Amino acid sequence: MKKAQKSFKRSTIRRLIVLASLILLFVTLYLLTLNQSVCEFFATTISRAWITAFGTLLGWIPFSLYEMLLIVAILGGIAFVVIEIVLMCKRKWKKCLTALLIVAICVLSFLNIYTVSASFAYNRNPLPTSVYEEYSSDDLTVEEALSIAEYVIDQANLAYKNTEHDEEGNIVYPYTLREMSELLDKEYGKLEGDYFSSYTPRGKRVLNKTIMSELGITGVFFAPFGEANVNINSKLYLPTTLGHEMAHGKGVMREYEADLVGQYVCLTSDDPYIRYGALVQCVYYAINIVSQYPNTQKTVDQLYKSIDVGIINERNNYGAFWSQFDALDRIGEFFNDLYLKFQKQEGGTDSYTKPGIVEETGDKDDDDNPIVHVVRFSDTQNLLIKLYKQNKLVWVNFLSKLQQKMTSNC
């Protein structure tokens, strides 16, 4: 009996020491994430190396390990609670304590791994100016704004005509998820500078797409495994969703920045299937840029009318499809909001977008609309302006591109 007590005491002390060490490490890492310079160092060295190593090692596995781990964690958590209740009812306090310490050690170990692999990148330096800058209405004339809007609409219409759609008008991709990942990997290869990791994770399809959809989740990047997981119910926006999750793997963890980078690589692609969803996402943002200038109401109305009706129908189809998934949406948003706030993203789920800022001048234009000064355009609008100023909003004729590829293959 005394031997058993001594053994229990020694093992308990060892576990307490390990747990205390893990807590100390977690607190230390958390405090380090408050310093942007330290975060930039970690994001470009240790975190990048971790994601590259494990993403390369586990990337060949065709299914999502994150999804498997999540299922195991949920079932394990339920089992742990049941076991603890049973042990307490039987007054087996030693086993109850042992199980509690083991689970606490596992949880703290995971938190430390996640902090090292992902959390530091949330507070690193902003995106380089080669990809994104913020602009005001002083930086763009109304003629330039109109050029951007006409370009996005024309290219969206052209991409719609050069992509296959089913009888309901929804896009049908000719690529597997792996092939789409490879195409986006090539697009990411065009990004210059050391800000982005040279490693690009491969997209993985989540099996429980219905549950994910009910939770309102279109994609998840899991840094400890270096996995970019996507819900194929994204459909219309599958390339930009995949691009978003791949951006996380490239070291861009802030949500709105990952969105911008995903849109950037899709918009600058010459593949209509890769470009289409991004163009559709940007159409109304582009028109809204024009509407910020006085005496543009008639022009804006004409721009809306110039959008292909097929695009409008497909957007409506997408909205109607996702409206059926709302059973667990609030739960998914609650935990995502909590997670992002823990990563020091003050807006929580609101951090997926960075809205514009306008100031009213007190005057009205000829259409009796308030005249405003744009202090800052929204994040997507800034991206479009950046691409315009980089001369990357160039006309892409998909038919001629296809003919060129067929000729070269012959």
Distance of CA 153 to the CA centre of its chain: 24
pLDDT tens profile 11-60:
888 999 999 999 999 999 999 999 999 999 999 999 999 999 999 999 88
Give the angle subtended at the CA of 266 by the CAs of 261 and 270, to the nearest 5°.
145
Q: How many helices (H) and strands (E) does the chain have?
A: 16, 5
Q: Residue 360's beta-bridge partner residues?
A: 372
pLDDT beneath 50, residues of the chain: 402-403, 405-407, 410
Q: How far is CA 360 from CA 41, 144, 382, in A?
A: 42, 22, 20
Q: Dig out the tokens for 18 from the structure.
A: 């390990």
Phi and psi at 227, nearest 5°, equal: -105, 135
Q: Rounded to an integer, what distance in angstroms lies between the CA atom of residue 115 and that of residue 391?
A: 39
pTM: 0.90
pLDDT tens profile 113-155:
999 999 999 999 999 999 999 999 999 999 999 999 999 999 9
Predicted pLDDT at 327:
72
